[in-house]
Amino acid sequence: MTAVTASIGLSVAAAAAVMAMAALVARRQGRVAVVDVAWGAAFGVAALACGAGAAVGEAGSGPRTWLLVALVVVWGGRLSWHIGRRTARHDGEDPRYEKLLGGSLREVGMARAVRKVFALQGALVPVIALPVSVGVVRDVRWWPVAVLGVLVWAVGLFFEAVGDAQLAAYRSRPRDERPPVLDTGLWAWTRHPNYFGDACVWWGLWLAGGLASGWVAGLATLVAPIAMTWFLTSVTGAKLLEETMMRRPGYAAYAARTPRLLPRPPRRTGGHRAGSTS
């Protein structure tokens, strides 16, 4: 067994273990939304497993091994903490998952939830984590590319963390004192700064872990950031969220002038401005 194969195997095992535990918690709580907390945690556990495996196998003795692990753990830990704190204040199911499943967990049953949510996300984790699984056991060929990847990762974390903080501040205001939707700060540049940030994080990790290892590793792991971007925009991310948001007053006008994902300077159209509550 090669070092790369062993590292990917550890990533698969870690993701499966975290999602299995998340499914048990979901069954006890009666809601699938707990998978959002498990999502970031699964990446962090997978990265730690790959890093430990690389160290034991003496394949990852360079500084990039633990740099990659640290980048994933910081991102995944922050995401799980933020979502866990947010969901702790709500007992109901996330509307995105009710739409995806065709009903609540009680209505559709655990088997459907495992198949359409936990198994799917568990299978995606090792795919998206490929640049890390490969990078921790490979030598760096191009350090400038690795540095560029860290910078892209940092931009992504900034958009994600600041966007989440701005949204939390908006939601903390009394309903009668806040605009119908949020369109200030990063939310004036993109309707989903948190999803844009997630995408940047994984494009950065692909640069630092995949492409920095050489063309072969870069091409072999390119599926990772593509899959993450697809997942964020077309599966349980922006697509499902906006189907709900479009029914809210002011959101359609906000969507007409604000890009869905890639940021651009805000356009002022006059009159009352409205924005996003995602």
- pLDDT reported for residue 276: 42
- For residue 172, what are the CA distances in angstroms to 78, 175, 251, 272, 277? 20, 9, 19, 21, 12
- Clarify whether residues 150 and 187 are in a common domain: yes
Please, what is the average pLDDT of the chain?
A: 87
- The residue with greater pLDDT, 60 or 91, is 91
Last residue of a domain, one of 119, 138, 157: 138
Query: Hey, what amino acid is at 12?
Result: V
Last residue of a domain, one of 120, 138, 156: 138
User: Highest mean pLDDT: which of 40-44, 180-184, 227-231, 233-237?
Assistant: 40-44
Cβ atoms of 122 and 16 closer than 8 Å: yes
Q: Is the pLDDT of residue 275 over 70?
A: no
Count of CB atoms situated within 10 Å of the CB of 27: 15
Cβ atoms of 44 and 77 closer than 8 Å: yes
CA distance 111 to 9: 25
Per residue in 186-206, pLDDT tens? 999 998 999 999 999 999 999
Cβ atoms of 7 and 54 closer than 8 Å: yes
pTM of the model: 0.86
- Clarify whether residues 104 and 125 are in a common domain: yes
Last residue of a domain, one of 98, 117, 138: 138
Per residue in 31-80, pLDDT tens? 888 898 999 999 999 999 999 988 886 665 588 899 999 999 999 999 99
- Clarify whether residues 123 and 150 are in a common domain: no
Give the residue among 152, 146, 239 at the shortest CA–CA distance from 198: 152
- The residue with greater pLDDT, 157 or 177, is 157
Going by pLDDT thresholds of 50, 70 and 90, the confidence category of residue 151 is: very high
- The residue with greater pLDDT, 274 or 220, is 220
CA distance 67 to 224: 18
Cβ atoms of 83 and 62 closer than 8 Å: no
Q: Is the pLDDT of residue 243 over 80?
A: no
What tokens were used for 68?
């990659």
- Clarify whether residues 131 and 238 are in a common domain: no
Mean pLDDT of the 10-21 span: 95
Query: Could you give the angle at which helices 63-87 and 143-172 cross, rounded to 10 degrees?
Result: 10
- The residue with greater pLDDT, 268 or 44, is 44
- Clarify whether residues 128 and 30 are in a common domain: yes
- pLDDT reported for residue 33: 86
Per the structure, the complete domain to which residue 178 belongs is given by 140-278
